[in-house]
Amino acid sequence: MADFLEGELSAVGNDEQVQRGAYLARSFSHCGECHTPRNVLGISNFNNEFAGQEGVASAALTADGLGAYSYEDFVYFLEDGFTANFEQVGGEMLDVIDHTSKLTQEDREALAAFFFRED
């Protein structure tokens, strides 16, 4: 039988806001579909969760990969779709922003807390 899991999801600690962000990113928002690298079989590599993918215009959603954004900028990005350089996001992210803009402010802040956490 094939093992279709590659790596493990990282623990996120005890902070309730970060835990909420992890839940939203890993389920409802399914951020890893584009922002987590895959192997040759297309299986997500959870050892590099949210590290971005080669050959795809998807940035790393890690504290290092979001370097152009402040925490506050990223929260606003999830609401209005403007990048840290004041450019409008495009492509498939337009649909994502359409959905994240409907989240509560607290949920957008939870996503940012999860992605900006220090492991």
Sign of the alpha-carbon torsion through 66, 86, 98, 57: negative
For the chain, the domain total comes to 1
| Burial environment of residue 25 by CB neighbours within 10 A (0 to 12, 13 to 18, 19 or more) | buried
Q: What is the pLDDT of residue 1?
A: 42
Q: How far apart are CA 42 and CA 78, in angstroms?
A: 27
Report the predicted TM-score, pTM, of the whole model to 2 decimal places. Answer: 0.84
Range of the domain at 72: 16-115
Using alpha carbons only, what angle is made at residue 55 by residues 83 and 74, rounded to the nearest 5 degrees?
20
Average predicted confidence (pLDDT) for the chain = 86
pLDDT at 7: 53
| pLDDT tens figures, 19-60 | 999 999 998 888 988 898 988 888 888 888 888 887 767 788
Residue 8 forms part of a structural domain? no
Does residue 5 sit within a domain?
no
Determine the pLDDT at residue 11.
63
